[in-house]
Structure formats: C-alpha cells, structure tokens
Amino acid sequence: MSTVALTPREIPVDLFYNLSPDELDRSIADSRAALGRRLVILGHNYQQDGVYKFADFKGDSLMLSRRAAEQTDAEFIIFCGVHFMAEVADLLCRPHQTVILPDMAAGCSMADMADIESVERAWEELAGILDPDEQVTPVTYINSAADLKAFCGRHGGIVCTSSNARKILDWTFARRPKVLFFPDQHLGRNTSKRMGIPADRMILWDPAQENGGNSAEAVRNAAMILWKGFCSVHQMFAPAHVDHFRATVPGVQVIVHPECREEVVDKADLVGSTEYIIRTVTAAPPGTAWAVGTELNLVNRLKTDNPDKQVHFLCPTVCVCSTMYRIDQQHLAWALENLRDGVVVNRIRVPDEDREMAKLALDRMLEVS
C-alpha cells in the first residue's frame, strides 16, 4: 500500500471570529510558546492593545526597522503594523527568514499617495528644468512602497522616518542643494522649517499637474520640493484644538506627531515620533497635563499607563488609523496557528528587482541615523 504525503491545509480566518477574547488570548499565547525562538513578533505603537501586548518588540518605524535587522535567528517575523513596515523588515532580514503581515489589507493611505510611475514622471519633468541627478536628492518617508525606496537607492537618495528626518535632511543638503521629498508634505515641511529653510524656498509638487503645478523658475529656486501627500489621521488635528486645551487645561503641554499640519506643529510645545511621544509623557513628572496629537490607540494606552498625569486626546473626534486596526487578535491568532501547522499565510516578499536598491536606501538611512 502506498502512502500519500498530506500537505497541511490553511485554517480559514473566519473560524477565529467565533472565539471569545479569552480563547483568542490563549490561542496566541499557545502558538507563541509552541514556536518559541523560531518566532519574533514586532508591534508598532499604533496597534490595538489586544495585539500590542503580544509583541516581543514595540516601537516606532525606526526602532522596528532596527529590531527587524537584529533578528538574525528567528525563522519567522510577524509584523503587527502596516504593509510598508513589513516590507522594510523583509528587506533588512536574512534570506532564511520569512516576514508575515497578519492582514494584507493593512496598508497606509499616505504611502499610497505616491507611486513609482508618478515619481518617475516627476523626475523626468525636473530633468526638463535642471539636472536632478546632480541637484536633487530624492528622500522617501519610510511610509512608502519598496519600489519608491528602490528609486531613491538608484538616484543617490535615502529613506527617512519621523524620528530621523532632520539628520537625513542634513545629510542630503551636504550633498546636493535640493530635495524631492515624498509622500508626506507635512513631515518634509515641518522638518525643513525647523532647519531654517524659508517658506518661499519650499514648493508643493502636485503629481496631477504638469511640473507639479510649478513654474520652472519656482523649481530652480526651491530647496524643498514637497510631494502633495498627507496622513488622513493626522490631518484631523487643527490649531483650534491646541487653543482649546491651552484655554481649558492650566499648564497643559501639547505634543504632536510631525505628520500634523504646519499650523498645528507651530502651536505645539513638542513634536516627535510615536516613540518620542511615549518616552516624553512617560518620563514627565506626576501631575503634569498633556494634550497629545497622534493616533487614538496610542493616546488611550498612554492615558492608562500614566494614571498620575492628565493625558488628553488633542482632537474631539476619533482619529484611528483604520488600516493599523486591521491587525486584530483574530488575524494574529490565525497567522500563528497556521504557522504552527507549517502553513505560511500572508508572506511579505519585496520583488527581486527592487530589493538591492531599496535596501541600499534603507542602509544609508540606518548608517546616517
């Protein structure tokens, strides 16, 4: 009698929606224990609590990029974050490692605002006015697809995050006089403003218009060419929200993410990455009051973790990153149970043609920061 080797079958995700919160907790904990050192879970600071508590390493984009690069032993890296973050982990890890994103729908709407075709077209349009490879450094915020990172690698450019943008721009301006910064206009503008670049040397590049909607003279005069992209979550914070807290909470300190609009950042006391925000509020003396302008899951957790302080959410409406929220306990439990059974679901793999150049742009960033 011949024997047939059975290929393990994928367990469907729907089954996990029938489990109670306790059962989900148990499933995740059991799978983690069974996989042991073969597995590392990375969790971005915006993850919902039920998922965040299972992360071996937590942090902002820069910290998680570093952690991903350091995990030389684990066979599997589960990234609880959004798609571009898992791509970065895949670029920085070793060939024997596999990166998994529990839900493929966890993207970043800002990252989607710049695509390779529009950026290449912008580069060609710039070439009609000046020599971009001599005069312009392309800088992509880490919130971008791997092919844009590869574009930066090919053209002497670099990646930045919200915590190292200043250092990265110092690096670029030491080499070439102009920067094409995508996709987040606000991080680019807020950072270069603090470096002393005047507003009349920053232009907005609208990819839907010829030459980004700029005259050739404006392009020649510009130091910062800012892509017309933004984060729909941070876009919700307004200067009036800062005024409200200043008027109603004595001694309040306002701390915001640099993806917020210029008018909000200008009114804030402090600005920085998610990790900077957590560190600053956590280290503050008891009794201090904070109004925090970043994603709601993070702010709610800060509130719970700092009962000796007043922590307020800066916006009166709900600002949740709905794509980060796609990573729920059900998807984490599903990815883990499949892995335990030898089935890899939702593997993130950057295409071969982009790997080398995208990694070059990331390595430049890690070296500079």
Which partner from the list ligand 13P, ligand SF4, none does 179 bind, CB cut-off 5 to 8 Å by kind?
A: none
Q: Residue 139: in which H helix or E strand, if any?
A: strand 136-141
For the CB of residue 146, give the shortest distance to ligand SF4 in the complex, in Å: 16
- Binding residue for ligand SF4, selected from 30, 75, 109, 129, defined by CB under 6 A: 109
For the CB of residue 110, give the shortest distance to ligand 13P in the complex, in Å: 7
- Binding residue for ligand SF4, selected from 295, 328, 337, 354, defined by CB under 6 A: 295
For the CB of residue 236, give the shortest distance to ligand 13P in the complex, in Å: 12
Q: Is 300 in the site for ligand SF4 (CB under 6 A)?
A: no
Nearest partner of 102 among 113, 86, 90, 118, judged by Cα: 86
- Which residues lie closer than 8 Å to 248 by C-beta, 6 or more apart? none
Q: Is 191 in the site for ligand SF4 (CB under 6 A)?
A: no
Which partner from the list ligand 13P, ligand SF4, none does 101 bind, CB cut-off 5 to 8 Å by kind?
A: none
Q: Is 90 in the site for ligand SF4 (CB under 6 A)?
A: no
Identity of the residue, 97 or 161, whose beta carbon is nearer to ligand SF4 in the bound complex: 161
Which partner from the list ligand 13P, ligand SF4, none does 274 bind, CB cut-off 5 to 8 Å by kind?
A: ligand 13P
Which partner from the list ligand 13P, ligand SF4, none does 161 bind, CB cut-off 5 to 8 Å by kind?
A: ligand 13P
Distance CA 204, CA 286 (A): 42
Distance CA 280, CA 345 (A): 37
Q: Is 113 in the site for ligand SF4 (CB under 6 A)?
A: no
Q: How many residues bind ligand SF4 (CB under 6 A)?
A: 12
- Residue 80, number of CB atoms within 10 A of its CB: 30
Site for ligand SF4 in 315-334 (CB under 6 A): 321, 323-324
φ, ψ dihedrals at 146, nearest 5°: -60, -30
Task: Name the residues that contact ligand 13P, by CB under 6 A.
Answer: 45, 60-61, 143, 161-162, 231, 257, 259, 273-274
Nearest partner of 334 among 101, 107, 106, 108, judged by Cα: 101
Distance CA 46, CA 40 (A): 18
**Residue 158 three-state SS:** strand
What's the token pair of residue 72?
A: 């030389």
Which partner from the list ligand SF4, ligand 13P, none does 190 bind, CB cut-off 5 to 8 Å by kind?
A: none
How would you list the strands of the sheet with 310-313, edge to edge? Answer: 270-271, 253-256, 289-293, 310-313
- Residue 233, number of CB atoms within 10 A of its CB: 25
Identity of the residue, 238 or 324, whose beta carbon is nearer to ligand 13P in the bound complex: 324
- Binding residue for ligand SF4, selected from 119, 231, 254, 298, defined by CB under 6 A: 231
Q: Is 233 in the site for ligand SF4 (CB under 6 A)?
A: yes
Question: Residue 13 corresponds to which amino acid?
Answer: V
Q: Is 80 in the site for ligand SF4 (CB under 6 A)?
A: no
- Binding residue for ligand SF4, selected from 47, 71, 140, 143, defined by CB under 6 A: 143
Q: Residue 289: in which H helix or E strand, if any?
A: strand 289-293
Cβ atoms of residues 42 and 89 within 8 Å: yes
For the CB of residue 44, give the shortest distance to ligand SF4 in the complex, in Å: 8
Cα dihedral 78, 83, 87, 90, rounded to 10, equals 10
Q: Is 235 in the site for ligand SF4 (CB under 6 A)?
A: no
Distance CA 249, CA 94 (A): 50
Cβ atoms of residues 364 and 86 within 8 Å: no
Q: Is 87 in the site for ligand SF4 (CB under 6 A)?
A: no
For the CB of residue 172, give the shortest distance to ligand SF4 in the complex, in Å: 21
- Residue 243, number of CB atoms within 10 A of its CB: 12
For the CB of residue 101, give the shortest distance to ligand SF4 in the complex, in Å: 13
Question: What residues make contact with ligand SF4 under the rule CB under 6 A?
Answer: 82, 108-110, 143, 231, 233, 259, 295, 321, 323-324
